[in-house]
Structure 1
Amino acid sequence: MRGEPDLGTLRVVWPFVGRVRELEDVMSALTGADEKGAALVGPAGVGKTRLTDEVVARLERTGLAVRRCYATVATSAIPFGAMAAMLPTDLRTANPLGRAVEHLLSEQLPLMIVVDDAHLLDDASIALLHHVIRHGHARVLVTSRPGERTELWQDGLLRRYPLGDLSRAESDLLLERALDGPVDTRSATLLWSGSAGNPLYLRELVVSGCAMGALRADDGIWSWHGAIELGGRLAELVQSNLGRLEPSHRHALELLAYSEPVELDLLASLVREEALDDLETRGLIRVVPSGRRVVVRLGHPLYGSLLRTTCPTLRAQSHQRALAAALEATGARRREDLMRIATWRLDGGSPISVNLLAAAAEQAWAAQDVALAERLCRGAVEAGGLNRVGHVFGQVLMHGRAPDQAEATLADVMSGPLSAEDLSRLGATRSMNLHFGLGDADAAAAVLDHVDVPGLPADLRDWLQVVRVIEAAQHGHVATVLESTYQPVAPHLTVHLRRTRALCLLHAGRYREVAEEIAAYEALEDLSEPDDGALRMRCFALAFAGNLAEAEALALTMHDRTFDELAFTGATSLFGVLSFCARMRGHGSQALRLAREGSPKTPSRPLIFDAIALANLAGTAAICGDATLAQEALARAEKARRPAWRLTGTTVSVTRSQVLACTGDLRAAADAAMAAADECAELGVHGNEAMALHNAARFGVDTSQRLTALTSTMDDPMTAAYTAHATALADAAPTALEATATAFQRLGATLYAAEALAAATGLHRARGDARAASQASARQALLMRDFDGVRTPALCADGLTHLTRRQAEVARLATSGLTNQQIAEQLHTSKRTVDNHLHAIYGILGVTGRDELRTVLGPS
C-alpha cells in the first residue's frame, strides 16, 4: 500500500482495465484498409469514453490528426452544434454542408473524427458525418447509447461494437489498480454487485466510499464498512439515468424497490400494465425467468437504493402494506412468502401475529439469513412470544457472537411453565449453544440429560440423540462417533446424522467417501437448495486430497452466491479453503490476504470456527516469513481452543510446528509436529495427522513408516505424495525426490514440489553430480518464478540455475510438442532465434534433446 488515494486522482485518472479485445477490434476498424470507422454502443457508464480515450491516445502516437467533439442536449437543437469547434465560424452559405466538408478537407494530415454521445447529434451533424464517411474523407469513431440515432451503423457506414458491463474479474482488477492495493473479497463482491459491472458507477462508489470513510484500508487490505449509501455525484448519476418519471412509473419502481425480485403477476396486480411495458422498454426494469416463475427486477441495483432513499416514509409504508396484502391474497404458497409478508408488515407498520413472526423467523434461519432471522425473533419477543421463537433466537444469538446472551435467554425461557415437548426442543438448542458457543461440553450434556424425560414423542427422543452425536463429533474419537451415525432415527432426522458422518469421514482423511456420503444424502433428501455445510465439507475434502483446482472453483462459486450471508458463521471457512490452495501453489501474498479475511477481527468470545481460521492465518503468515504475525495469530488460536472442541483444536496443534519453523527453531518445530501427530492419532483425526507427519518429515524426522500406514485407509493423491516425500527424504534419494516433485506439481502443490527439488539439488551436489544438481535446480527456479512472498526453511532462492524468461517460455513450448518453427510463429520471432535459445537451454541443463528436456523439466 502507498497510503490513502487522492480523491481527485481517483475521479480523473481511472485505470484502463479489460476491454483488450474491444480495443484491438476498434483499432482494426479505424486503421484497416477497407474500414471506415467504428461505433461504440452501450448504456451510460459502461466505459465508452474511457475506451475512446485509449484509442485516441494510440492514434495520436501514430501521427494521426484527431478532432474530437462532444454532443450534448444543449447542442442537439443547433445545426452543426456539437461539431462547431472543428468548423469555420461562418457557415452562412447556400451549401453549409459543402462548406463544412471543404473546411475539414483542408487538414494536412490524415484525419480522424471522434464524436462522444453521437445519439445527441443534430441532423446537420449526422448528414456531415454521412458525407465524410461515404466519400472516405476521414475515419470516424463515435460513442452512442443503444437504440438511438442508429443511422451511422445501420446504414453500414460504421462497424458497430456493443460495449457491455465489466466481468467480475475485470471489476476486481480495476478496483485493485485504482486503489493501488488489494480489496477484500466481500467488499469487492459488494462493489461489483452494487455497480452491476458498470465502470462509472463503480468509480463513483469508490470515490464516495473513500470520501465518507466507508472504504478504507486495514492492514493493507481495502474493505467497505457498512451499507452502500447514495449521495453527491453518484446520486445525481443514478437520478439522471432514471430520468423524469411519470407518477405511475414512479409508483411501479418504488414498489419494486421494496420487493425485488418479485413475481410479475404480483406486481401487475398493483400497477398499470402500460407502466410496466414503458419501464421495460426504457431499460429501467428487467423481466426475467426464475425457475417456473417470471420475476421483475430493477434495471440496476442502485436504482433501488435511490428510490428507497427518496421515498417519503408514509408512502414507503403504504407500498409495503400493499405488497403484503397482495401476496397474502395469492395464498402465500412458496417457502419464502412468510418471510416477505412478515418483513413488509413490520416495515409497513401493520399488525402482525406472533405465530407469523415465529414461522417467518424459522424460515429465515433455515435460509441462513441471520440478520432477518434476528429481526423477526426480536419482533416476536417484543410481542410476548419468546417461548415461540426461543429455539431459533438462541441459534441466532450464538452465531451472532452472543452465546452468553443466548444462554441467558434460553435459560429464562426454560424456567417458565412449558410442556415437556417444548422444553426438550429448547433444551436441544440450549445444549448446542453451550457446546458450540460457550465450549462447555459437560453443561451441554447435563441439559440434554435434564430434558430427555420418559414419555417424549419418538421423533423428539431421536432429535436429542442426534444432538448428542453432533456434539460428540467435536470431542469424541472419530471412529466411535462415526459408528454412532448409523443408528436408526426418524427419517426426517437422517440428514443430520449423515452430515455428521461426512464430517467424521473428513476428519478421518477418507476424502473420497466424504463426497460419496454427501452425494448420497443430498439425493435422498432431494434438497431444493444446496446444503452449504455439505458443500464446505466437500471443498475441504477436495483441497486436502489434492484436487486444488476443483476445490477452488467450488469455494469461489459458493462465495459469489453467499457473499451477503457471510455473517453466517461457517461461511468464512471458504476463505480457509481458498487460502490453503493459494499456499500450496506458493502464492503467499494472496493466501495471506484470504487468511486475514477469514479470521475474526475482534477479540470477542470465540466460536468453534475461529480457532481454525486463526490457525490458518498463523500457518499462512509462517510460510510468508512473518514470524510476528504468525506468533500473534497462533496465540489467539490457542486462546480460542476449548476442551469441547478437541478435534478442531488439532488444527492449532498442527500449525504450531509451522510457526516454530518460521522462527528458525527446526528442532522444536519437528518435536511440535510429532506431538501434533500423536494428538491427532489418539483422536482418530488422520487427515491432520498426515499433515503433521509431513511437516515433521520436512523438518528432519523420518515419518515414512507412519505415513505409509496411513495410506491403507487414506487413498488420496496428496497423502500419497506426502508419503513419497517423507520416504525420499529419509532415504536421501534425489531421484525419488524429483519424482515426488512431479507428483506434487501434477496436483498443483508447487510449494512442496519446489521443496522436494531443493532437497534433490542439495543431495546431487553432495554426491558431486553437478549436471543432475543443475537440472533439479533449474526446475526449482522455474516453479519459484511464480511464487509470491513465500519463505520456508527448505527453500533457498540463492544459487539456483536460472533460465531467462524467454528461455523458460521456449523450453515450455518445446516440451509441449511444438516444432521450432511453430514456437517461432507463436512467439513472433525467427526459427533461428528459437534454435539458439534451445541450444543455450540444453547447455545450461546438460541435456541433449527434447526427450531429456521433458524429463528434466517435468509436466508443463
Structure 2
Amino acid sequence: MLSITVTDGGEMRGNDGLHRQWQFADPDGLAHRATASLRSAGSSVVILSGPSGAGKSRLAAEASAALSAEGWHVLPVTASAAIAGIPLGALTPLLAADLADFGAIASEPLALFAQARRAVERIAAGRRTVMVVDDIPQLDSLSIGLITQLLSARVLQLIVTVRSGEPLPDAILSMWTSASAVRIDVPPLSVEHCELLLTGVLGARVAHRSVVELQRLSAGNPLFLRELVTGAVDDGHLAPNEGIWQLVGDPIGTPALHDLIRSRLRHLEPAETEIVERLAVCQPIHLNDLEGDGARAAVVRLERAGVVVVQELAGALLLSLAHPQYVSAVRASLSRLRVIDLLLDQADIVSRRPLTPDDELRVATWRLDAGSPSSPELLVRAAHLALIAQDQVAVARLAAAAVSAGAPAAEMLFLQGEAMWTLGRNTEALALLERAAIADQAEPTDLQLTGHIATARASTYAGEALGNSLGLAVLDEVIVRHPTLASSLALSRAVLLLNLEEADLAAETLVEAAPASDSPETAAAILALSTALPLSALGRSAEALEQARAAVDYASTAERPAFARRRALMVLSTVLLQTGDVREATSLTLESLHDAIGHDDELAIRYNELMLGRCFLAAGRLDTAARWLRDVISGAQARGPIAYRDQARALLAATLAAQGNTGDAAAVLATLPAEFIEKHSNATLAMLWLEAVSGDRATAASGLIAAARATKARGHYVLAASLAHSASRLGAAAAATPLLAELAANGDSPLVRAQHAHSAAESAAGIEMLEAAGETWEASGHLLFAAECFASAAAASRRDGSARQAAALQQRADALSAQCEGASTPLLQFADSTEPLTKREREIAALAAQGLSSVEIAERLFLSPRTVNNHLQASYAKLGIRRRSELTGL
C-alpha cells in the first residue's frame, strides 16, 4: 500500500502544501517486494496492477531507482494511445541511436532482435538491465514482441504497470502465468495511511471523521485524494478549526479530476454512456429497471471495464458506478434539463411495477430532485421511510417538501427538526421544533406526537452549552399542560438529570417511567436503554450491563428498531468504561463512531469522539486521548453540536496536566465558562489536578475529597469514586480510602473496587498490596494507574532496604509509563526512584543469574571479561547486593 508524505516539515500550510510534490512512501514494502523478485533467480517480470491513480507508476519508479542504486541499468518506457499506432514508437527514444533504420528491419524479426540486443548490451555495459514499461497495454504489438524476445534471451528483466481490468498482452500474460513473473496488486490507501498522508501535506492533523470521509470519497486512490483535497481546500470545504482540519460539506474535486474521469469514459458506446449517465443521477438502479435493447450486454462490458459494479441485495441486482467520483464528474457534465429528464424517466419506469418501500423512497426523491414533488401523502410516507433508512439528509428534505405540499405541519416539522439535530445543526433544529410545538398546540392531533416534540426540544436544548436546565424546563411545562405525558417524558428527564450529575434524581424519575410504545418489546428496550446509565452511575454495574446489552441485542435484531444500534453501543461502551473494561469500551466506541460517520450522525460522532478521549485517558494513552478530545472541540465548532465541546476541553486540560504541561492546561481551562467549572466534575478535576502539578497538592487533594463527597450525595457514586481516587493519587490516600470503601460497598462496580484497593495500598504503603493493585490495573488496561502502583511499590521497597526488589518494581513501572505517552503524574514524578539497570547490565546480570562465568559471558557477547565484571559490579551496587548468587530470581 502506498502513502504520500511531504518531506519538509512545518506549520499548517493550507494551499501552499497542497501544490508541493506529494512524495511517496511505501509502508507495505511493495517496492522492496518488486526488487527482491527481480533479484531472485526465477523471476524476470514484475507486473504492478491497480486502478489508475493508485500509484503504480511511482512504485515502478521507486523500485527501478533502488535497482539503479545497486548498479542496474534502467530503461524507462512510457506507452500511450497517441503512439500506439507507430511501430516501435515507445522504444524509439531508447534505441534510435543503435537502430538506424527501423523501417528496413521492422519486417525482419531476427535482424530486429539482433540489433536491439546489441543496443541494450552496449548501453548496459555489462550491468543487469531492467526495462520499466508504464501502461504496457498501450504498447504497440511490434514493441511487445521485441521485448518478449529480449526477455526470453535474458537480455533484460521487466517491470510493467497495468490498470485493473485491462487485459495484458498475450505475450506478457503467458509469462505471468508461469513461475517467472510476479504480480503485485497496488491496494487503495487505508484510512490510517490517508491520515498520515494528509497530516504531512497540510502540516497539521486532519480530524478522523474527515479522513474517513475523504478516504471513502476517493476510494483510497492517491490521485483522486489529492484532487479532492486540493478542491476542498480551495473552495473552503476543508479548513482548519482549533488547529484541526475539518471537512464541512461534500468536496467536489478539481476540474482536472473531472476532466480526467470524463476522458476515461469518452470512448464508451452510446448504450454504455446512457447507463453511466443514468447511474450518475439515479444510482443505485435495479438491473431489471434498465430499458432498451442491449442494456444488459452494455452492463456486462461496463462491469468488465471497472466502470460499474453489480451487487446482489435481497435477491435483486443493483447497479452503481464503481467510484464515488464518477458520480460527481459525470453529473457535472450533464445539463439541468438532461438531469431532470433522467430523474423523471427513471421514476416513471420504476412506478410501472409494484413499489417496495425502498422504491417509494427513491421515486419520491427523484421527483423532488427534478422539481416535480409527489403528493403530500407520498412525501410524508417517504420521509418516514428515509427515517427508517437513517438517511437524515433525505428526512429533512422530504419533510420540508411535505410541509410545502400541504401535509400536516406538526409531524413533518418534528421530523425535519430531529434530522437537523442529528446532523448537528442545533440552531435550525430548535427553530423547526419550536414551530412544530406551535403547530401542534394550534391543531392537536396526537398526544404521543406532543410528547415526541417535547422530548426532541429538550434534547436539542441539551445540545447547547449549559442547555440541560432549559431542556428540563421544556419538559416540566409540557407535563403541567398534559399530566398524562409525565410517565413517557420521565425518560428524557432522567437523561437530562444525569447530564447534570443528579444520579439519584434520575433513578427516582425512572421508577415511574413508561415508554410510549404499543410494542412491549420496544417499550422494554427503550426502558433498558434509558436505565443503564443511571444504574451504572449508582455503581450497580451488573444490572447496568444487563440493561445495556439488552438494548444492543434489541437494536441488532429488531426489524425496525426504535433506536439505532450505534446509540445502544454508545450506552454500552459508557457503562463498560464505568465498570473498568477499557478495552471493550474502546472497541465498541470505534464501531459506533464509524457507523455514525456512515450515517452523518454528528451527535453520535461527537459523543463517540469524546468517549474515545475518555477511554484512552483511562488507559493512560495521553497523547492519543488529547488527539480525540481535540477532534471533539474542533468538530463541535465546525459541524456541531456544541454540547460536548466544554466537556472535551475539561478532559483535555486534565490530560495536559497529567503530562505536566501546565501552561497549555491552564490555557484550555481559561476557555471554560465559570458556570461550567462550577457544575461539572470533569472541570473541577482538571482545575484541581492542574493546581496539584503546579505545586499545591494538599489543597488540590482536599478540594477533590470535598467534590467527591458532594457528588456522592447526589448519587453519582462512580464519578465520586473517580474524584476520590484522584485525591489518593495526589497524596491524600488516608482521607480518600474510607470514602472509597463506602462507595465500593454501595454497589458492585469493579472499577470502584479497584480504586479502593489502590488507595488502600497507597495509604498502607504495602508493597504486596501495591503490586496486587498494579496487576489488577494492568490486566484491565489502565496502564497509567498500574505504573503508579509499581512506582509506589518500588519506593516502599527502597525504604525497606530491598534494592533488588525496588529495581525490579521500578522497571515494571518504567515499562508501563513508557506506554503512557508523556505521563508525568505525582506518583511517577515524585516517588522515590531507584537507578535502573542499563540494557547491557540487565543482559549480563541475566546470564550471570543462569550460572555462566564472566569468561563465558564475555565470549557470548564479544566483550572482555574485565568489561563483564565491571558491569556486574555496577549492577550489584544498583541492586543493593554483594555477590553473583544473589542475582538468582532477578
Please give the TM-score of this superposition, normalised by the length of structure 1: 0.86
What letter corresponds to residue 267 of structure 2 in structure 1? R
Q: Which residue of 2 aligns with 1:81?
A: 89
Q: Which residue of 2 aligns with 1:456?
A: none
Distance in 2 separating the partners of 1:325 and 1:54: 53
For residue 258 of structure 1, give the secondary structure of its aligned residue in structure 2. Answer: helix
Distance in 1 separating the partners of 2:818 and 2:862: 23
Distance in 2 separating the partners of 1:159 and 1:772: 56
Within 5 A, what are the aligned runs for 1:815-854?
A: 832=861, 843=875, 846=879
- CA displacement at 1:682 relative to structure 2: 2.0
Q: Which residue of 2 aligns with 1:495?
A: 525
Contact 1:661 1:669 in 2 (8 A): yes
Q: Which residue of 2 aligns with 1:480?
A: 508
Distance in 2 separating the partners of 1:435 and 1:210: 33
- Alpha-carbon deviations, 1:687-708, whole Å to 9, x = none? 2122112111111223223323
Q: Which stretch of the first structure deviates more once superposed, 387-396 or 189-198?
A: 387-396
Contact 1:40 1:160 in 2 (8 A): yes
- CA displacement at 1:149 relative to structure 2: 1.8
What letter corresponds to residue 42 of structure 2 in structure 1? D
What letter corresponds to residue 707 of structure 1 in structure 2? L
Within 5 A, what are the aligned runs for 1:281-430?
A: 281-334=304-357, 336-385=358-407, 386-396=409-419, 398-399=421-422, 400-402=425-427, 404-406=430-432, 408-419=434-445, 421=447, 424-425=450-451, 428-429=454-455
Contact 1:79 1:125 in 2 (8 A): yes
**Shift in CA distance, 406/236, structure 1 to aligned 2, threshold 3 Å:** closer
What letter corresponds to residue 534 of structure 1 in structure 2? A
Paired-residue identity, %: 26
Distance in 1 separating the partners of 2:863 and 2:288: 66
Task: State yes or no: 1:195 paired with 2:213.
Answer: no
Please give the TM-score of this superposition, normalised by the length of structure 2: 0.83
Distance in 1 separating the partners of 2:551 and 2:669: 36
Contact 1:754 1:780 in 2 (8 A): yes
**Shift in CA distance, 740/422, structure 1 to aligned 2, threshold 3 Å:** closer
Distance in 1 separating the partners of 2:884 and 2:293: 73
- CA displacement at 1:613 relative to structure 2: 3.5
- Alpha-carbon deviations, 1:698-739, whole Å to 9, x = none? 112232233234334654554343222211111122443233
Contact 1:394 1:433 in 2 (8 A): no
Distance in 2 separating the partners of 1:432 and 1:540: 22
Distance in 2 separating the partners of 1:356 and 1:851: 87
- CA displacement at 1:279 relative to structure 2: 1.3
Alignment partner of 2:142 out of 111, 124, 145: 124
Distance in 2 separating the partners of 1:200 and 1:604: 27
- CA displacement at 1:15 relative to structure 2: 3.8
Q: Which residue of 1 aligns with 2:608?
A: 574
Within 5 A, what are the aligned runs for 1:273-288?
A: 273-288=296-311
Distance in 1 separating the partners of 2:884 and 2:571: 43
Alignment partner of 1:164 out of 187, 190, 195: 187
Within 5 A, what are the aligned runs for 1:606-645?
A: 609-627=644-662, 629-631=664-666, 633-634=668-669, 638=673, 641=676
Distance in 2 separating the partners of 1:288 and 1:853: 66
For residue 68 of structure 1, give the secondary structure of its aligned residue in structure 2. Answer: strand
Q: Which stretch of the first structure deviates more once superposed, 289-298 or 423-432?
A: 423-432
- CA displacement at 1:311 relative to structure 2: 1.8
For residue 161 of structure 2, give the secondary structure of its aligned residue in structure 1. Answer: strand
For residue 318 of structure 2, give the secondary structure of its aligned residue in structure 1. Answer: strand
Distance in 1 separating the partners of 2:530 and 2:252: 42
Contact 2:539 2:718 in 1 (8 A): yes
What letter corresponds to residue 504 of structure 1 in structure 2? P
- Alpha-carbon deviations, 1:350-392, whole Å to 9, x = none? 1323333333334444554433333333323333442332332
Alignment partner of 1:99 out of 106, 109, 115: 115
Task: State yes or no: 1:557 paired with 2:591.
Answer: yes
Distance in 2 separating the partners of 1:267 and 1:851: 85
- CA displacement at 1:485 relative to structure 2: 5.1
Distance in 1 separating the partners of 2:168 and 2:669: 61
For residue 445 of structure 1, give the secondary structure of its aligned residue in structure 2. Answer: helix
Q: Which residue of 1 aligns with 2:154?
A: 136
Contact 2:287 2:317 in 1 (8 A): yes
Contact 1:432 1:444 in 2 (8 A): yes
Q: Which stretch of the first structure deviates more once superposed, 420-429 or 77-86?
A: 420-429
Distance in 1 separating the partners of 2:698 and 2:410: 57
Alignment partner of 1:682 out of 683, 699, 713: 713
Within 5 A, what are the aligned runs for 1:139-154?
A: 139-146=157-164, 147-154=167-174
What letter corresponds to residue 297 of structure 1 in structure 2? S
**Shift in CA distance, 383/632, structure 1 to aligned 2, threshold 3 Å:** farther
**Shift in CA distance, 712/687, structure 1 to aligned 2, threshold 3 Å:** same
- CA displacement at 1:767 relative to structure 2: 4.1
Within 5 A, what are the aligned runs for 1:417-566?
A: 417-419=443-445, 421=447, 424-425=450-451, 428-429=454-455, 432-433=458-459, 436=462, 438=467, 439-440=469-470, 441-452=472-483, 463-464=488-489, 467=492, 474=499, 475=502, 477=504, 478-481=506-509, 483-484=511-512, 490=518, 491=520, 492-523=522-553, 526-528=557-559, 530-566=564-600
Q: Which residue of 2 aligns with 1:224?
A: 247
- CA displacement at 1:548 relative to structure 2: 2.7
Q: Which residue of 2 aligns with 1:751?
A: 784
Q: Which residue of 2 aligns with 1:772?
A: 805
Q: Which stretch of the first structure deviates more once superposed, 400-409 or 588-597?
A: 400-409
For residue 20 of structure 1, give the secondary structure of its aligned residue in structure 2. Answer: coil
Q: Which residue of 1 aligns with 2:795?
A: 762
**Shift in CA distance, 469/708, structure 1 to aligned 2, threshold 3 Å:** closer
Q: Which residue of 2 aligns with 1:827?
A: none
Q: Which residue of 1 aligns with 2:5?
A: none
- Alpha-carbon deviations, 1:776-816, whole Å to 9, x = none? 332233233334343333333997745667999x89x99xx
Q: Give unpaired runs (5+ residues) of structure 1.
A: 454-459, 821-829
Distance in 2 separating the partners of 1:631 and 1:791: 16
- Alpha-carbon deviations, 1:610-658, whole Å to 9, x = none? 5533433333333344445544554655567599xx8xx4444444433
**Shift in CA distance, 8/431, structure 1 to aligned 2, threshold 3 Å:** closer
For residue 77 of structure 2, give the secondary structure of its aligned residue in structure 1. Answer: strand
Q: Which residue of 1 aligns with 2:696?
A: 665
What letter corresponds to residue 38 of structure 1 in structure 2? V
Q: Which stretch of the first structure deviates more once superposed, 70-79 or 291-300?
A: 291-300
- CA displacement at 1:834 relative to structure 2: 12
Distance in 1 separating the partners of 2:56 and 2:839: 36
Q: Which residue of 2 aligns with 1:2?
A: 10
- CA displacement at 1:143 relative to structure 2: 1.4
What letter corresponds to residue 685 of structure 1 in structure 2? H
**Shift in CA distance, 304/46, structure 1 to aligned 2, threshold 3 Å:** same
**Shift in CA distance, 310/591, structure 1 to aligned 2, threshold 3 Å:** same
**Shift in CA distance, 420/787, structure 1 to aligned 2, threshold 3 Å:** closer
Contact 1:65 1:112 in 2 (8 A): yes
Q: How many residues align?
A: 832
Contact 1:434 1:443 in 2 (8 A): no
Q: Which residue of 1 aligns with 2:28?
A: 20
Q: Which stretch of the first structure deviates more once superposed, 712-721 or 405-414?
A: 712-721
What letter corresponds to residue 202 of structure 1 in structure 2? L
